[in-house]
């Protein structure tokens, strides 16, 4: 079983539309995982049934019992996150600023502070309208630990793929280079980079690829909206060649991509022409690269 992770650095380059299209092309062969847990969108195209929903707890938040608090201020002194403030003669914790380090509780002379496990979000195991299993999640509003929720979603997706004998886990990642991205790259077999030929697209592609290199994972790239700036598209191709990144395909700037989304369909279901062909071809290449790396 091989894990393929789709990321982009920059948001809005088309990660989710492309991941959903790949999943529609390989519906019988995979388990999908939406690891963009704080702004998940793939469910809008794949309509998962959310058959199983479970709370996910991670990290802790300090709570001060006002009856036990003697307002000595030691917790306030200890906290390096500015999460403790004084209100009407006693101290209180701002849960949005609390990192859950537990330092305050250790300094409290009256044991007025306890650490409560924080609900990081909810994760789901679903069957999509295209009949494959999808693991997804919703991070709680303002929650931390998106990286841990990502790791949990991936773990569940791998378990489902093994149980069902599916050859691929396909992961929709999140933008950026921080903890959720690091978490989605960990253990991946192949990375699909989705970029666009804009000054920011190429800038972010290079940064996220630096991260991919640290993990030593082979990668391929899809250039979306490739005709919006042909000069930058050419520099991206040069970069891919230089870095030995597989060139998986190029999609044009095409409002049909948005029309598919509005219709609640993947691109390959909505479009039967060139867009579909390019994506079919790209997925074939991904499979080829992933399968050949098995033999090594």
Partner 1 sequence: MPDIVIASGKGGTGKTTVSTNLATLLAERASVVLVDLDVEEPNSGLFIKGATEKFREVRNKMIPEWKADACTGCGICQKVCSFHAIVKLGKDIMIFPELCHSCFACSELCPADALPMQPIRMGETTLSQLGSLTFVESRLDIGQEQAVPLIAQTKAMVAHELRDTRYRIYDAPPGTSCPVIEASKNADVVILVTEPTPFGLNDLGLAVDTMRKLGKPIAVVINRSGIGNDAVEDYCHTEGIAVLAKLPNDRRAAELYSRGECIYTELPAFRTELEKIAAFVRSLPQGGRP
Q: Where in 236-265 is the site for partner 1 (CB under 8 A)?
A: 253, 255, 258, 261-262, 264
Residue 186, interface with partner 1 (CB under 8 A)? no
Binding partner 1 (rule: CB under 8 A), the pick from 164, 207, 241, 292 is: 207
Using H for helix, E for strand and C for coil, what is the string for the chain? CEEEEEECCCCCCCHHHHHHHHHHHCHHHEEEEECCCCCCCCHHHHCCCCCEEEEEEEEEEEEECCCCCCCCCHHHHHCCCCCEEEECCEEEECCCCCCCCCHHHHHCCCCCEEEEEEEEEEEEEEECCCCCEEEEEEECCCCCCHHHHHHHHHHHHHHHHHHHCCCEEEEECCCCCCHHHHHHHCCCCEEEEEECCCHHHHHHHHHHHHHHHHHCCCEEEEECCHHHCHHHHHHHHHHHHHCCCEEEEECCCCCHHHHHHHCCCCHHHHCCCHHHHHHHHHHHHHHHHHHHHHHC
In the bound state with partner 1, the residue whose beta carbon lies nearer, of 11 and 73, is: 11
Contact present, 66 and 148 (Cβ < 8 Å)? no
Residue 97 interacts with partner 1 (CB under 8 A): yes or no: yes
196 touches partner 1 by CB under 8 A:
yes
- What is the contact mask toward partner 1 in residues 23 to 62, using x (rule: CB under 8 A)? --------------xxx-x--x---------------x--
Residue 92 binds to partner 1 (criterion: CB under 8 A): no
Binding flag, residue 1, partner 1 (CB under 8 A): no
Report the residue number, 17 or 278, with the smaller CB distance to partner 1: 17
In the bound state with partner 1, the residue whose beta carbon lies nearer, of 183 and 289, is 183
Site string for partner 1, 131-170 (x = CB under 8 A): --------x-xxxx-xx-----------------------
Please give the residues from 70 up to 89 whose contact with partner 1 meets the rule CB under 8 A. 78, 80-81
For position 118 contacting partner 1 by CB under 8 A, the verdict is no
Residues at the interface with partner 1 (CB under 8 A): 9-13, 16, 37-39, 41, 44, 60, 78, 80-81, 96-97, 99-103, 106, 139, 141-144, 146-147, 174-182, 196-201, 203-204, 207-208, 210-211, 214, 225, 228-229, 232, 253, 255, 258, 261-262, 264
């Amino acid at each position: 079983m091989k894990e393929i992770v789709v990321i982009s650095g920059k948001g809005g380059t088309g990660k989710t539309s492309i991941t959903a299209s790949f999943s529609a092309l390989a519906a019988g062969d995979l388990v999908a995982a939406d690891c963009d847990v704080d702004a998940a969108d793939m469910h809008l195209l794949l309509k998962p049934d959310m058959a199983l929903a479970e709370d996910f707890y991670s990290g802790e938040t300090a709570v001060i019992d006002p009856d036990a608090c003697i307002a000595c201020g030691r917790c306030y002194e200890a906290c390096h996150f500015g999460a403790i403030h004084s209100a009407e003669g006693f101290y209180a914790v701002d849960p949005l600023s609390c990192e859950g380090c537990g330092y305050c509780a250790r300094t409290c002379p009256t044991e007025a502070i306890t650490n409560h496990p924080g609900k990081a979000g909810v994760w789901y195991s679903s069957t999509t309208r295209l009949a494959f299993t999808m693991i997804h999640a919703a991070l709680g509003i303002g929650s931390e630990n998106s990286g841990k929720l990502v790791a949990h979603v991936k773990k569940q997706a791998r378990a489902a793929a093994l149980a069902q004998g599916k050859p691929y886990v396909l992961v929709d990642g999140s933008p950026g280079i921080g903890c959720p991205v690091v978490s989605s790259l960990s253990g991946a077999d192949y990375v699909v980079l989705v970029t666009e030929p804009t000054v920011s697209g190429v800038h972010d592609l290079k940064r996220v690829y630096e991260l991919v290199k640290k993990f030593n994972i082979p990668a391929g790239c899809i250039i979306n909206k490739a005709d919006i700036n042909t000069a930058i598209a050419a520099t991206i191709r040069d970069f891919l060649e230089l870095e030995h990144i597989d060139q998986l395909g190029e999609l044009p700037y095409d409002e049909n991509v948005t029309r598919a989304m509005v219709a609640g369909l993947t691109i390959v279901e909505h479009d039967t022409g060139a867009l579909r062909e390019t994506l079919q071809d790209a997925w074939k290449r991904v499979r080829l690269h992933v399968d050949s790396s098995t033999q090594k």
